[in-house]
Amino acid sequence: MSAPGQRARLRPSLRLRGRLAITGLALALPAMAAVVWGRHQYQWRSAQGTLLEVARARVAEGGRAICDGQVREWPPAPGEMSLRHAGGGATFGRLIAYDRDGKPLDGDGPPLVPELENAAREGRDGVVAMGDFGGRPVVQALLRAPWSDAKCTYLAFVRPRPAELPHDPWPVAPLGGAFVVVGLFLAALGPVVRRIRRLTLGVRRSAAGAYLVPVAVEGRDEIAELATAFNGAAAEVRAQVEAQEHREQVLRNFLANTTHDVAIPLTVLQGRLAAMRRAQQAGTPVEGDLITHAIEDAHHLGALIHNLGAAAKLEAGEPEISRLPVELAGVVRRCVARHQPLAELLGVDLQAALPERALHATGDVTLLEEAIGNVVYNAIHYNARGGHVAVVLDPLPSGRFSITIADDGPGLSPGEAEHLFERAFRGDAARSRKPQGRGLGLDIAKRVADVHRMTLTPESPAEGGLRMVLEGAISEPEASDTREARGALAS
């Protein structure tokens, strides 16, 4: 007993072959029958015309004598086949006389076949029919006697039926020919069926292999087009599966990074809050540095969560990243306003300088704010009390802009600039000042710049500190684009 999978594999091929066989028979049988019928009709009409010509000639030559009973039968022509009738005696292509009802005047004469007898009663002339004469197959032609004073009304001319006029117009041979045609039809379609089976097996193998292996394309006909269409559909499915797997991997990485990176600063913040509660319960004053560090930890924790969200968005790629007009001065103002409380808490002077005319760029406003905010956050976070941070937006020649974040902090040690944008890398001064950092912010800022085809370059000025310069192309937005950007920002 075959397995269900085997039955499913065999069924389409058998079904196709059966339908092809039925189609072949449905086409071949009527065609063969039409050919046989047409050939029979042509032969019969030709024989009718010939027989009527011979009959009229015989009637003209000796029909009156037979009609009046003077001669019993017409002399046979040389080589003419003889006929025998039930009454005995040799007859050769005879003329026989009949009355108006189709009855023989000679009592020994044979009766007319039913078709001619009916024709005689109806008064028709020149009717030809096939029948039997004394057990022999014959053809009879009925002619009206051309003499008004003759004893007979009709004369029938009887000849042997030609071999090419079979009595049965539907012989067995056409049926055999139809089966031969169907056999040839199926044999011709055999390669097509085998190609369809190979295509079916190829589709199953491709599906089992996650559509990584394409289906073989044979020839340039409709089956080849079907295989090509399947390969195109498989590529689309594979791309969607890969995109889904990528999104799932991004989500898993985001959850893992969130769990790992948030746990440490959250634990530190919990420790500081617990220390403040103990001091409150003991009735002792809470140290100002403890409160400052707790607020700084909360700010750091919020920035870290924002960074993890930005990292997940960058990992997901298009179409998660939007491409809309961004008003750069607004981005700078929002970043400075968001980090102003932290700067005041740490005693760092944070200022912004903006041009008079509006500058626009095309990109994802959330990611751009996150990138600039990360640089501003680092400039404040790793600066000393009494330090300064300046965020300057300037138009550049050739339709470009620059956003410079400059600080007078510890700067970079020799050789650190080339590793500055690596994830988890932190300079020596940064580690000594703030050991709890994760080194994620500048990596995200650099990736945001790359996604937007911008450059983010670190510079170490001679007077000390660090200067980060973000450069990009200025775009002139349409009015509708500006409204869409404002709507996206508001949402």
- Res. 389: pLDDT tops 80: yes
| Rg of the chain in Å (alpha carbons) | 54
| pLDDT bucket at 219, cuts 50 / 70 / 90 | confident
Q: Is the pLDDT assigned to residue 288 strictly greater than 80?
A: no
Of the listed ranges 155-159, 269-273, 428-432, the one predicted with least confidence: 428-432
Per residue in 155-177, pLDDT (tens digit) is 888 877 766 555 554 555 555 66
Q: Write down the domain spans for the chain.
A: 4-160, 233-320, 321-490
* DSSP character at residue 104: B
Q: Which residues contact 269 (CB under 8 A, 6 or more apart)?
A: 294, 297, 298, 301
Angle at the Cα of 254 from the Cα atoms of 250 and 258, rounded to 5 degrees: 175
- What mean pLDDT do residues 412-439 have? 59
CB of 448 closer than 8 Å to CB of 389: no
Q: Has residue 243 got a pLDDT over 50? A: yes
With b meaning 16 or more CB within 10 Å and e meaning fewer, what string describes 136-154?
eebbbbbbbbeeeeeebbb
Spelled out in words, what is the top-level CATH class assigned to the domain 321-490? alpha beta
Tell me what the pLDDT averaged over the chain comes to. Answer: 76
Higher per-residue confidence, 184 vs 228: 228
DSSP structure class, residue 285: P
